[in-house]
Amino acid sequence: MNFTSPRRRFASAAVAGIALTGLLSACGGSGSGDDAASKSGPVTLPFWGWANGQEAVVKAFNASHKDIQLKYTKVTDQLTMQKQLTNAVKAGNAPCLVQNTAEYVTSWVSQGALADITSYVEGEKGEFNTGAWASAQVQGKLYGVPTSSAPQFTIYRTDIFEKYGLEPPATWDDFIAAGKVLKKHNIKITNYAGEDPSTLEVLAMQAGAHWYAIDGDAWKVNFQDEGTLKAAKVIQEIIDNDLNAKLSFADYAAVQRSYDSGATATRQISTWQMAGMVQNFTKSFGDWALTPWPAYRGEAAKTPAGTNLTGGVTLVTKQCTDQKQAAQAALWMSTNQDAVKTMASPETGNGVMPALKDSGSYVGESISQKLLGKNYEPAQKVVTDSLGTVTTDWTFGPNWTAMFTELQAGWAKVVNKEQKVTDLLAHMQEWTVKDLKSRGISVKG
């Protein structure tokens, strides 16, 4: 699966509808966004991001705007972004604009790091799809502009499946069965990177789990609900039977070689992750095809909200003195047709699906004909269909960043067979409740 690095996903977070007090230890407020009106010369807005294609978008923005200029700094990846932004906020020199993903919005708002830009962008709501718009909100206020959606699907090696008489797996049972066949030929059906617990997150999400929810005036935490345990069972069977590779994305080239050489035969990914395949493969162009996510036994097809690791949202920080201009720049990058096309292409950008209301019209541009060959046309239907089966009721908690870091440590032990998935879940239940209480946040669990 490996959604993390360079990560990751987009999700339709239910936090958009939260209108309760006391759920966050602190909240970002509106800043002095009109300060630039009295300044002479163009406003310069520092912008941090990591996605391919952003430098070209920034160049185009600067060429078309005299009063606002973007100063772009490329960060290594999403996890590095969280660390660097933490340091910048503490030092009082945070950039105005930050590429980020939906799961971190609530955490940053609770730390008072983001600006409420609702008044600057709410009039553009009709330009975006509902789930994407929700991803930039906390308690009904907007703290950024959505940049992308992330339809999820399985990509698999058609030549390998055909050679061993396998059909693309329709269920997780089929997936495991195919993995057992491939194992006999020294082929792994998937890869679990030890640093990337998003595999557990998205399978739980697909199964209807809710790690965080709102219960009255408190957060409710549940890492052991029916959906999460269903996901844990699938993952544990894959690990116990040695059906997964254990390649770390710290050696990104090695991961890509594994897919390109046929040592690993499938990935559950989104459009943006195809860009890395296109840019690194040399042998297997035309041998790949798309198929929907495997379903749980007896259930209809359903994909997780996917987290997109190419951004999801462009956030505006509270320390930015030109918040109105920052919001305008963020809107331009998410709605300008040329900018959107640049980011949607796996060749020029990250292959991200736009957050726009008509994002389906960009499907053909967001997947690679070079990678898929004769399977390119049917792949477009798989992507389009997945946009209609996305999970939309997942909520990211106010300590998501800290929780995910703790989850990473335990996930590495799971992948290395040092503990069971259920052991990790029991630990995360206890740890998360304790951590929220230590932050003065009301919690049940």
Q: Looking at the predicted structure, is the pLDDT value of residue 3 above 60?
A: no
3-class secondary structure, 388: coil
CA 345 vs. chain centroid, Å, equals 17
Q: What is the CATH number of domain 153-302+386-439?
A: 3.40.190.10
Q: Are 56 and 342 in contact (CB under 8 A)?
A: yes
Given this model, what pLDDT does residue 300 score? Answer: 76
DSSP 104-159: GHHHHHHTT-B---HHHHGGGGGGB-HHHHHHTEETTEE-EEE-EE--EEEEEEHH
Provide mean pLDDT across the span 312-335: 97
Q: What is d(CA 278, CA 272) in angstroms, rounded to the nearest whole number?
A: 11
3-class secondary structure, 362: helix
Given this model, what pLDDT does residue 179 score? Answer: 98
69: pLDDT confidence band, cut at 50, 70 and 90?
very high
**Most confident among 26-35, 107-116, 326-335, 366-375 (mean pLDDT):** 326-335
Q: What is d(CA 1, CA 310) in angstroms, rounded to the nearest whole number?
A: 16
Among 219-233, 248-262, 272-286, 383-397, where is mean pLDDT lowest?
383-397
Pick from 5, 4, 8: which is nearest to 271 by CA?
Answer: 8
Number of residues that this document lists for the chain: 445
> Does 43-150+310-366 match 153-302+386-439 in CATH topology?
yes
Provide mean pLDDT across the span 259-280: 91
Given this model, what pLDDT does residue 15 score? Answer: 41
Burial class (CB in 10 A: 0-12, 13-18, 19+), 296: buried
- pLDDT tens string 103-139: 889 889 988 999 999 999 999 999 998 778 888 888 7
Given this model, what pLDDT does residue 39 score? Answer: 58
Q: Are 316 and 115 in contact (CB under 8 A)?
A: yes
Q: Are 112 and 28 in contact (CB under 8 A)?
A: yes
Any idea where the domains of the chain sit in the sequence? 43-150+310-366, 153-302+386-439
Q: Are 132 and 12 in contact (CB under 8 A)?
A: yes
Given this model, what pLDDT does residue 14 score? Answer: 39
363: pLDDT confidence band, cut at 50, 70 and 90?
confident
Angle, helices 400-415 vs 198-206, to 10°: value is 100
**CA contacts within 13 A on the Cβ side of 408:** 15
Class (C level, CATH) for 43-150+310-366 = alpha beta
From residue 318, how far is each of 47, 102, 415 by CA, in Å?
14, 18, 39
**Most confident among 181-190, 197-206, 299-308 (mean pLDDT):** 181-190
CA angle 192, 198, 200 (to 5 degrees): 80
Contacts of 316 (CB under 8 A, 6+ apart): 96, 97, 98, 114, 115, 117, 143, 144, 323, 326, 327, 330
46: pLDDT confidence band, cut at 50, 70 and 90?
very high
Q: What is d(CA 58, CA 69) in angstroms, rounded to the nearest whole number?
A: 8
